[in-house]
Structure 1
């Protein structure tokens, strides 16, 4: 049993997702065997489980690991005065540390390869004798159970009305490690470019059709300073960097793995004119200095990300600089782009559109 019950969340806090709430409940009731020491976890929401574990004063260190800075910063915002033991981290991989307890909440619609990647990473992060607990918001789950069995352990199972949890003790290191990163190639202007990608990065293992249309449309000229918004694995960035002489490309993405991947891709292609940084707000150095901004914003979130891309492009571009975005809703771009740009051009292309404009 825990030394004391886990604290109740603030009535104003965002509720935890079902699998995470199920784990909080099980720990609070003492149904999952607790372990003193250091904890690794992640969150489908705002680090609610990590905060509860840290507030219990049972653990020396509670690391809540995110891949995406947007999610990490929202979690930090929900815990402005965290317990001293709580660390909310954003990195491509968990810290290189050996933990006594690893806790992984999952959603039933999670990316298959990312789940396998996370399971392996969390298992590797445990000390021998450490405990791994995994929960998924699917009480009839079989697939996650199968993946845990592949780790060479037979888990304890705790079932709930909307989630199920699996627990196991690490008795040996994994005999085989799988590399979930991959390389693939794209062709542009007669040149073959190598791309490196990892699970959670857009778009993993292939070039997205929107990115291909953006590459075909981007007006790259010698000496240009180019900004790639939401670079993903870097297909657009690498193509831009090789499209003309003395071009420099800077890439930003909220996904820390995306930044890792585009820099790896630059190295694979022996490119020294590509830089990258993690950003979830469009923050860049040297605003007003770019000649061209490129972006392939996601087609969801009620255009909030597309709006951020346009605002960032306006801030980044010099006077007379050009923005080129790929989208799908012609009416929205027709209405919104003239607010910040002039000389608007919108060209339909195979179910997408390429929208461009010049900075006012």
Structure 2
């Protein structure tokens, strides 16, 4: 068998002149990977730059990477920022969520000064998604097809009302009362009740009065349905690294009558009191970094009372089982709806 040279990952894309020429301070960088956003900030080196993220995990890494070169902020919505930016650059990721792209472009209009440009630096050399969207929101757009990327440029003009992009869905569990959930792009379980979450909740043992931690809560479906079973003497805590997800979980808990709950936006599962929960429910991203599953397991174990149970749903049972056996004395596994459900204590 012959062994060729190992392929090296491509380095950062060269910043196009169309972006350099139009970027002005104060500049806003919208989403993007940590490496891409940091490369952009360093290359332009504009004073007063702000980087916006929805999730604390990349936000904290980006802040460490940039130091004092830029301010890194997280908000549930982009338009929570003041309309003070002289330019904004959106870095959509390859294969990114369509609805999130629409939402970010819509909200970007509202954080720009009049006459300020929005620049979209797409990772595709041809990108048919943005032209019609930009014309609808900004009126017109210039398009520059380049090697390895496309740049779209448009300018804020006139007035425009705020238009939210969100989906409300209803779900019911095991013949219980139907619940209504608000969801927004960029969060887990957007527009639907996740099948893995349903499988987890159909498997878990809950009794009235228990304290439940919904770890990686998304818009809060697991915690809300857990509340139906632990009742008014119980308590639910929602945890997620996405500040948008936590805002939605709070709204959905209130709308569905959860009387005793709290919520924490945290990248390291910090904030809730340790050794204080009877049950931890975990639904880590199935194909995300292994470190996220490890974090959920380690911090989930720390949150349990003596005799408490950690429940996790996954589609990667071999990897997860090995991690659980390193942390817990007893691990059981079952299957439901094509998912593996682990119970550990």
Q: TM-score, normalised by structure 1?
A: 0.86
Match for residue 91 of structure 1? 75
Match for residue 44 of structure 1? 32
Offset, 1:139 = 1.6
Asked if 2 retains the 8 angstrom alpha-carbon contact of 1:67 and 1:93, the reply is yes
CA distance in 2, matches of 1:171, 1:253: 37
CA, structure 1 residues 249+16, in 2 after alignment: closer, same or farther (shift >3 Å)? farther
Helix, strand or coil: the match of 2:244? helix
Asked if 1 retains the 8 angstrom alpha-carbon contact of 2:91 and 2:121, the reply is yes
Offset, 1:27 = 4.3
Offset, 1:332 = 3.0
Asked if 1 retains the 8 angstrom alpha-carbon contact of 2:27 and 2:46, the reply is no
Q: Deviations over 1:81-119 (max 9, x none)?
A: x13xx2100111121333221211223411000000000
Match for residue 173 of structure 1? 159
Asked if 1 retains the 8 angstrom alpha-carbon contact of 2:18 and 2:151, the reply is no
Helix, strand or coil: the match of 1:243? helix
CA distance in 1, matches of 2:310, 2:198: 16
Alpha-carbon RMSD: 2.1
CA, structure 1 residues 315+147, in 2 after alignment: closer, same or farther (shift >3 Å)? same
Q: Deviations over 1:151-178 (max 9, x none)?
A: 142222233211111112222122x543
Asked if 2 retains the 8 angstrom alpha-carbon contact of 1:43 and 1:49, the reply is no
Match for residue 318 of structure 1? 305
Helix, strand or coil: the match of 1:64? strand
Q: 1:192 aligns with which of 156, 178, 199?
A: 178
1:22 and 2:7 are equivalent in the alignment: no
CA, structure 1 residues 160+322, in 2 after alignment: closer, same or farther (shift >3 Å)? same
Match for residue 187 of structure 2? 201
Match for residue 281 of structure 1? 268
Asked if 1 retains the 8 angstrom alpha-carbon contact of 2:138 and 2:155, the reply is no
Asked if 1 retains the 8 angstrom alpha-carbon contact of 2:138 and 2:157, the reply is no
Match for residue 22 of structure 2? 33
Offset, 1:53 = 6.7
Asked if 1 retains the 8 angstrom alpha-carbon contact of 2:59 and 2:73, the reply is yes
Aligned length: 331
Match for residue 240 of structure 1? 226
- Which ranges of structure 1 fall in alignment gaps of 5 or more residues? 1-13
CA, structure 1 residues 276+16, in 2 after alignment: closer, same or farther (shift >3 Å)? farther
CA, structure 1 residues 121+297, in 2 after alignment: closer, same or farther (shift >3 Å)? same
Offset, 1:280 = 1.2
Q: Normalized per residue, which structure has more strand?
A: 1
CA, structure 1 residues 182+64, in 2 after alignment: closer, same or farther (shift >3 Å)? same
Match for residue 328 of structure 2? 341
CA, structure 1 residues 103+334, in 2 after alignment: closer, same or farther (shift >3 Å)? closer
